[in-house]
Structure formats: structure tokens, C-alpha cells
Amino acid sequence: MTLLRSLSTPTLPLQTARSVGRQNQAIVLMVLLSGIIIGGLGGRLVHLQLVDGDRNRQLAETNRIRLIPKPPERGKIFDRKGRILAGSRLSHSVYLQPLTQKKADWHKTRQRLADILNIPVQAIERRLAEEGYRSPYMVRIARGVSPQKVTALEEYRAELEGVEVDAEAMRDYPHGDLGAHVIGYTGEMNDQELQRRQGKDYRLGDVIGQMGIEAAFEQQLRGEWGGQQVEVDGAGTVLNVLGEKETRAGKDVTVTLDLELQKAAEAALGIQKGAIVALDPNTGAILAMVSRPGFDPNLFTTHMSDEKWKQLQSQDQPFLNRVLQSYPPASTFKIVTTTAGLESGKFSPQTVLNTYPSLHVSGVDFGEWNHAGFGPQGFVGAMTWSSDTFFYQIGLGMGEKPLIEWTRRYGFGQKTGIELSAEESPGLVPDALWKQKQVKQAWFVGDTVNMTIGQGYLEASPLQVAGMFAIAANGGYRVKPHLLKENATAQAWRQPLNLRSDTIRLLREGLRGVISTGTGQALNIPTLPPVAGKSGTAEDMGQGSHTWFGAFAPYDKPEIVVVAMGEFSGGSGGSVTAPMVRQVMEAYFKPKQTKAKAQQHR
């Protein structure tokens, strides 16, 4: 008992015990109050960090850090002699920083921008929504902003929180609509284009090639984005550059086009709807390519309204490159018919056939173009005068199979291999299977007769027709049309058709006869070296005829092939398109003649 008592708590006086109790109560109250305060702050911190954490962190960083993207300067496009076809000029673009405002607060800024920039407020709203209101990246909403609009933006700066104006390089086409279809144009990619390029380092708002060379060589021309991560103060002034990735300019591209010849071809076609193409028959290098109607690619360097786009589209398909589209090739195709007839073995080089006002086949009269005939003719004379009834008989004598086979061997019915393949039509080489499937009819002998003169269901592009003339010019080789000057693969590609020497000789003599005494005498002039060529007129009921003329020169050592096509031009190839070809050839040979004369006088 003594041990237990000695270990127990001693008894305190009453007054001391009460004092200790009050102190304990105060401490408890202080602890409770502190717990409530700390708990409230903790709950708020939890809410700020877990519920609104991402947004608040982004807002805090945005108040201090900005991501300023820098688009690359697009590579230049030069012609074969180093003259510029497409370059860049300095302009201004307008960007938005999504995080600087809450989504609900952007409506006033959007409306003010729409008023100043004259673009729909819905377009600005759509761009912000596509990028996301919590994105740290700046979103471009306008390019090519005029100095007047830049001044207006500066005047309303107080109402334009999160709006930035930056200088950047913009595509420029110094020659306006010259070569628009072959050079192409650039424009900002849309959602669908972005999806097609996923994984290729593209982002919304990127400017890409939309057609022509710009699209075909997009990977070389585009370059790589760069930008800066900068620290700013409350007024948006840059205090420090935290990091930087330099932009990488796109690579320059030199193409086979000749600027001066392109100008001549544009002038030759004028306002006539149609196409002109010039190429080197030995290498396939494209020297000029023109299509009408045309457009100015500079229109696409700034925002284009829906109204302006509709207005352009209403002008009879101005964005269609008619050099690459298909039409009945008409009598230019007699080159293939001649080849097929001779190579089939059904006709000899000495063949002579009588010609008639018309030929009656299976109950149908197939007429001669002059309604009289040309008397007895061989292959050279028939080509010279473009006798239809002569070639009808060639088709009847060999049948459709050799004709169709040689049409395909000449490259018809397939794409040529030019870099603009996305825009190119393969044309059409009809046969019995195709006709049964598409027309629900058997192949008739009349189909063969029509095909011998390049009509019926047969379709070919001006570029394919130029390739056909190149075969006659270079001695029987298919070449690959191309636009890239340093395209060694295309330059070396020559597919022999293994034509007999007599076939080549008769083709060339017949085509020369067209110019010297036949339907192409418009090119039989002293300012040109000897020319060989062929006219064609494809009837199209109700809309007028398509007119053709193709030629190569010099006759003994060809350097150039020119093909012109007038879409629904009316008239004949000899009267409508032959003068166009002559004008292009004069532009090509005049500098050579001037240089030769200068060397003679030295």
C-alpha cells in the first residue's frame, strides 16, 4: 500500500486545479480555430490544385510565358534559267493567344477583330475552337494584313487582349496569273487536309501547296516551323527569351519551265478556253504549260471570302488544268493509226488507197472532211491532206485489236508520269469490254472507224498528244514528261517502241507534208526552221468543235514539240490553233537565230 500510494498523483490544492482547467480550454479552442482555418485553406488548395489545377497552372504560366510560333519561309520556285516564278514578301499576320481570356470572354474580342479585319466572326470562333481555348499556342486567324488594318489593331489594343500582330514571309507570285495552273498556289490547310497529313509534322493553320508545282513539291518547299518561348510582364513586354527553335526555310526548286516561252504561250492562247504545252521531245522536259481560263494565285495569300470563291468558281472551271484533261484528239491521232496499220503487217509502206466523199460501213456513211475525197493516196499523202476515208480503210483492214494495242503503247489510257499526277486524267482507250460495261453494247466496226480519226469514245490529254508527237520526232521513243529540272530519272527514261524504220520515215514525211503543202501551212514561214505537224478538229455536237494542232522542229533534229488545243473553239485546227503553235515556236527559235547571226558577224 505504501508503494502504491507513493506512485499515485499527489493531491493539489483546489485553486490550482481550477486554473489549470481554464488554460486547457483556451488551448483547445485555439487548436480548434486553427484547425478550421487550416482546413479551409487546405480545401481551397485542394480545389485549386486538383479541380482547377491544369487551368490555373496554364494561366499562371501564360501571364509570364508565351509561345510565339514562327512559320518558315517557303522555298522559291525558279525557271530553268534561274528566274523567279514564286517567292516571298514580308507581310503581317494576326494571332490569338487562347489562354489569355476565358472562353466566355472572347466574344467581344472576336467581334472587334471581325470588324477590323473584315472576316466573319464565326471564322474566328471556329479557329479558336479548333485549337482549343486552353492551348498555349498562338493561333493565326489572318494573313496578309494591310498596314491600315495593322494601325487599326494598334488603336484598339486596349480592347484586344490576347491579340498579337507579327511580321512573316508570305507567298508572292511576281508574274501574277502567268503559269498559274502549272505553278499552282498555296493556302491554309483545313481540317480534312490536316487529318490526311497526320504524323507528318503539320499543324492547323499551316500553309501548303494546293495545286501544281506548289503541291507536287510540297515536301521540298515547306520548311520547318520554329519559334520562341519568352517571358513577358503584365503589359506583354518581352523580358527574356527562354528558348528558341530556329525556323528552317524550305528548299528552292528549279523547274524545266522557260519564263519567256511561258509568256509567249500565254499570249498565243490569249482568252481562248483551252491549253498549250511545249516540251523537249528528247528528254520530256516541260518548257511551257498554259490553261485557260486562269486565275491569279496571289488571291490566295490572304483571306478569301466565300463570295469571292464562288465568283471565281463560276468562271468555267478556272482551276482546271486543261493540259492534263482529256478530249477527243481528232486527226492528230492519225499518227497512231499510221503506226498501227504499218506495224500490223496488213499494209505495206507502198500502200495506195483511193479516197472518197464518204465511206459506207454497216449502214452508216462516214464522210470525208472535204466532202469530195483526195483521189488515190499513200500514207504520206493521206497524212498531208488528213484524208479521213483513207484511214477508215486502214482501220477496217487491220481491225480494232492492233489499233487499240498501239494506242496503249503510245501511252494513251494511262497517266504520263508527270509530277502533277494528282491532277492528271489517264484518258480513255475504249475496247469491247469497256463498251459492254459502260454502254451495254457490243463493239461495232463503226467504233473502229471512228477511232482511226481520233473520235468516238477515245480521249486523250494535250500532254499525252504532245508525248505522241515526241515519239514521231525522236525516232520512236516514249519519254516521260517532267517539271523538275534535276530529275535525272525522268530525263534518262526512254522507252523504245521498236518501230520499223519505214514506219518512222513515213510518219515524219507525212507530218512534214502537212506543213509544206497541207493543212498546216501557217507554220511554213521563213522565220522558222522546217517544221512537221498535224491538225485536228474534233466534232462535239451542240457546243462547237475542239481544235488541235501539234508540231515539232527543226524537222531534221527536233528540239521542241508544241501542242495547242482550243476547247469548243469552233473552226479548224489549221485556222485556230496552228497560229498559236507558230507563235510559240517563233518565240523559241528567235533568240537562237539572233545568237547564230551574232556569231556569224564576229
Q: How far apart are CA 562 and CA 569, in angstroms?
A: 18
The CB density around residue 538, as the number of other CB atoms within 10 Å, is: 22
For 56, the grid coordinates are 490555373
Active-site annotation holder among 326, 331, 535, 545: 331
Check if the beta carbon of residue 301 is closer than 8 Å to that of residue 145.
no
362 is catalytic: no
Per-state percent for the chain, helix, strand, coil, to nearest 5: 45, 20, 35
Cα-based distances in Å from 576 to 74, 276, 503, 546, 547: 40, 13, 29, 10, 7
Q: How far apart are CA 4 and CA 2, in angstroms?
A: 6
Check if the beta carbon of residue 233 is closer than 8 Å to that of residue 65.
no
Q: How far apart are CA 58 and CA 52, in angstroms?
A: 10
Q: How far apart are CA 127 and CA 141, in angstroms?
A: 7
For 173, the grid coordinates are 507570285
Cα-based distances in Å from 309 to 117, 303, 319, 423: 18, 10, 11, 20
DSSP H helices, 47-158, are: 53-64, 106-117, 121-131, 147-155
Check if the beta carbon of residue 258 is closer than 8 Å to that of residue 78.
no
Q: Which residues have a catalytic role annotated?
A: 331
